[in-house]
Structure 1
Amino acid sequence: MKAAREVKPLSSLCERVSVGHVGPTSMHYCDDGVPFLRTQNIGDNGLQLEDYKRVTPEFHASLKKSQLKQGDLLLGRVVTDVMKCGIVPAELGEANCANMILIRPKEGLLPEFLNYMIKSPFAQDYLLGKRVGSAQQVVNTGILKAWEVPHVTLEEQKRIVAVLDAAFEGLTRATEHAEANLQNARELFGAFLEELFLKNGEKWLSANLQDTVSENCTLSYGIVQPGDDVEGGLPVVRPTDLGVSLISRTGLKTIAPEKADGYARTRLQGDEILLCVRGTTGVVAKALPELEGGNVTRGIVPVRFDSQKMLQDFGYYQFRSRHIQEQIEAQTYGAALRQINIRDLRKLSFTFPEVKEQERLLPMLQNAQRNCEALIEVNLAKTRRHIRPPPIPPAKGLCRRTHIKLGSPDG
């Protein structure tokens, strides 16, 4: 076995490992001042410079310890499940920062190499294991200064960075390709619905939503203030639950039953179409029979069709069609909170054949949905595989112990 390469504390390889400005800053903001980076300017993929604050030149000059240079590394000081890191680019120019850890490597340590090393799985595990605090967990600069890292030659650092740059470039292309396939799979079912409903719309019956629902379907909003979770309480469906096509009791918020008093109009029977009318309007899902007796919150309207006019499943597919979605989008208003009024919802125009024809078409619709969902799952799996970052390659001559410090998957 080759001898272990020397390891050194990070502080010995850097000019500075310190915390940016801590304290009030808003009174120093201005429109044409010096760029001022904060925690929200560090994302999963590095610095996010599309939107940052600016401070007066005088305030910037007074904060000498947090003034930034090209090649500095900025780390999120407050940490949740990942320690985010980014390199200050040349184009940012003169800049400053607040409440972030600033690392300035010496000449013998490439910023790109240190950036990759900090983002490696084993480095993340080590640093996250050193968090302190209760309300907010932070990684102290003392931990980073004492962190032992391999002392790798500059040439070897360049080799490793080149390997990883190439790997991430390929990763980006593969991810974009997988995401494009996923979007195509999602659009495929929409295209099938569009062809069915638009092709036949002129020869089918036409009616507003309010004229196609059953007598006991009032098209009403749900519970306005559901209150806190209550163990064993009444299940309620919220807009955030509508990410799947079938809604069961699993994972639903449960509330005190009396909170539903006065909301009998939205009490579920167990096979309603649940339509989102606040937030991402137009999203729909189907309630399973086990939700009988449950309810919904303000952002959802339960829909039950008159079975003599429209089969429940046929209505569900019509809600998902472009024909209905465009009508919902046209009636949706608001910027901060997008929503559609009940009066506009009731006027949505549906086209549908006789019930017997609906019965004939339903198996085709259900089969198309199953095929598209299977295709979506295949592409989701591909996307999940592609977004895994490559491990840092071992530096030449490193033994297993030092290799792990670099973030190898071995161990």
Structure 2
Amino acid sequence: MRWRSAPLWSVAPPVREVVSAEQLPSEVLHYSIPALEERGLPSLELGETVLSAKLAVQKGDVLIGRLNPRKARIALVDRHMPGATIASTEFAALRPHSVDTRFLLYVLQSESTRQRLDSLVKSVTRSHQRVDAAEITHLPVPLPRTEEQRRIANFLDDQIGLIDLLISERRRQIGLVKERVRAGLEEVLVSDTADTVPLQKLTDPARPVQYGIVLPGPDFPGGVPIVKGGDVAAHRMSRDELNRTSPEIEAGYPRSRLVGGDILIAIRGSVGELAVVPSELDGANITQDAARIAPFQCDPRWLRWVLATPTVQGAIQRMVTGATVKGINIGDLRRVLIPTPNLARQAVLGLEAERLAAHAAQSLSVLSESISLLDERKRVLITAAVSGDLSPSAVWGRGVA
């Protein structure tokens, strides 16, 4: 079925009212990318903490993320503080008036819309791809009759709701697996170990626990790979996935260069997340929100897993400071006490911990694949429904038991 289409601006004009930081009231409801990604909700913030101009939005407005459009950040402004509801300028804000809002939200989540947004990207660094707000307003919107829009939106509300319930259950199962891993690591690595040693005593004196480059600059094609705290948390540990800094900037930070087998820990943001440096990152560097740990006179496998135990992670979290951006001081990290058996025992416990973690990783992989298939089903279903091409195969998709 083919419906007529119209440019987005004609059914949902852009919101153009911008307020400066100085004009904001004492409290604001802020629709920001970090808040929506973390909680799916806007954040209540003090006006004085907002340091840049924002879009003034109201209930019923639709937000489309301009940054990295393949991530499809689409949100409805469904919470409102009169005169105090704002959105990041990294969104394009729209005010629907002649299209069903729920139908429009599904159109903007469709694969065809995501592909069009991807084709409109202007900046091309790995981590910051942007689409001009003006380009977004010219996206084509299919326009069946209003009653048909509502029928499609009702159908998708029901079907997507069921899929989201399944995804929530898979995520709950992932949480249970991770909790069992934490409990297992605690039992294996901590319960029978009374002696403790400061972390700095377990690291190479010539390569102490160290954070990295403070201002790495924009991505520098052909430069030196850098690992950020967010890369550690997301386990992005291959050259192709990482941003790069210029050789001139990197040359000022020789003490934080990496060697395969080093352990990395996020020290800002997702504090405590861990990763092991692969050999392909020999000579790479880190930023100030990650710290390098170079195991010394201890079993590296054991050290990596004991750092992940609830006992050690709890000690790290108790040292975290900061309200907006949380972090741990490098000196405090060096002093964290590690339950430490003798070297021979470390080797045995390290192997046992790795087997436990590997078994859990298999379960997590199956659950994550199930979520990916469910997400794929959502994309196929939404795209088919809003394009008028709904079929039984689109409704049921591939098996995702």
Same fold judged by TM-score > 0.5? yes
Instruction: Tell me which of 219, 225, 233 is aligned to 2:209.
Output: 219
Q: How many residues align?
A: 368
- Amino acid in the other structure paired with 2:289: G
Question: Contact conserved, 1:276 with 1:301, CA < 8 A, in 2?
Answer: yes
Kept in 1: contact 2:25–2:84 (CA 8 A): no
SS at match of 1:350: strand
Q: 1:264 to 1:362 in 2, by over 3 A?
A: same
In the alignment, which residue of structure 2 is the partner of 1:368? Answer: 356
Q: CA contact under 8 A between 1:178 and 1:382: conserved in structure 2? A: yes
The C-alpha deviation readout for 1:380-404, integer Å capped at 9, x for no partner, is 111222234262698xxxxxxxx88
The question of whether the paired residues in 2 share the 8 Å contact of 1:77 and 1:140 is answered with: no
Distance 1:369 1:19, change over 3 A: closer
After TM superposition, list the pairs within 5 Å mapping 1:278-317 onto structure 2.
278-307=268-297, 310-317=298-305
Q: Does the residue aligned with 2:96 lie in a helix, a strand or coil? A: strand
Q: Is the 8 A contact 2:29 2:43 kept in 1?
A: no
Q: Does 1:136 align with 2:136?
A: no
Q: Distance in 1 between matches of 2:121 and 2:254?
A: 49
State the TM-score, normalized to the length of structure 1.
Answer: 0.69
Structure 1 CA distance for aligned equivalents of residues 83 and 234 of structure 2: 48
1:209 maps to which residue? Answer: 199
Q: Summarize the alignment of residues 21-60 of structure 1 with structure 2, pairs less than 5 Å apart.
A: 21-22=16-17
Runs (5+) with no aligned partner, structure 2? 48-55, 124-129, 395-401
1:48-127 alignment runs, 5 A limit: 74=62, 76=64, 80-81=69-70, 82=72, 84=74, 86=76, 100-105=93-98, 112-113=102-103, 115-116=105-106, 119-122=109-112
1:341 and 2:341 are equivalent in the alignment: no
Q: Does 1:199 find its partner at 2:191?
A: yes
Is contact 2:181-2:357 (8 Å) kept?
yes
Superposed CA deviations along residues 129-179 of structure 1, whole A, max 9, x for unmatched, are 8999997243576776xx563337x4x666544432321221221111011
Q: Aligned in 2, Cα 1:235/1:327: closer, same or farther, shift over 3 Å?
A: same
Structure 1 pair 76/265, CA: closer, same or farther in 2 (3 Å)? closer
Name the counterpart of 1:251. 241
Partner of 1:57: none
Say if 1:266 and 1:302, in contact at 8 Å, map to a contact too. Answer: yes
Letter in 1 for 2:288: R
**How many angstroms apart in 1 are the aligned matches of 2:383 and 2:120?**
25
Contact 2:188 2:353 survives alignment (8 Å) = no
Contact 1:20–1:102 (8 Å) recurs in 2: yes
1:166 corresponds to: 158
Q: Which has the larger radius of gyration?
A: 1
The code of the aligned residue for 1:378 comes to V
Residue identity matched to 2:97: R
**Residue pair 2:188, 2:349 contacting (<8 A) in 1 also:** no
From the superposition, tell whether residues 314 and 138 of structure 1 become closer, same or farther in structure 2 (CA, over 3 Å). same
Indicate whether 1:381 and 2:365 are aligned. Answer: no
Aligned with 1:179 (options 154, 171, 184): 171
- Structure 1 stretch displaced more, 187-196 or 112-121: 112-121
Give the Cα–Cα distance (whole angstroms) in 2 for the partners of residues 167 and 157 of structure 1. Answer: 15
Post-superposition offset of 1:269: 3.6
Distance 1:376 1:173 in 2: 18
Give yes or no for contact 1:37–1:97 (8 Å, CA) kept in 2.
Answer: yes
Distance 1:169 1:200 in 2: 47
CA contact (8 A) 2:299 2:350 kept: no
2:344 matches 1:356: yes
Q: Residue 231 of structure 2: which of 231, 241, 253 is its match?
A: 241
Distance (whole Å) between structure 2 residues aligned to residue 375 and residue 294 of structure 1: 32
* Counterpart residue number, 1:406: 388
Structure 1 gap ranges (5+):
55-65, 395-402
Distance 1:379 1:83, change over 3 A: closer
Q: Distance in 2 between matches of 1:132 and 1:246?
A: 24
Contact 1:75-1:102 at 8 Å conserved across structures:
no
Report the TM-score, using the length of structure 2 for normalisation. Answer: 0.70
CA gap of 1:353–1:17, structure 2 versus 1, over 3 A, is closer
Contact 2:74 2:105 in 1 (8 A): no
Partner residue in 2 for 1:150:
144
Q: Secondary structure at the match of 2:192?
A: helix
- The offset of 1:348, in angstroms, is 1.3
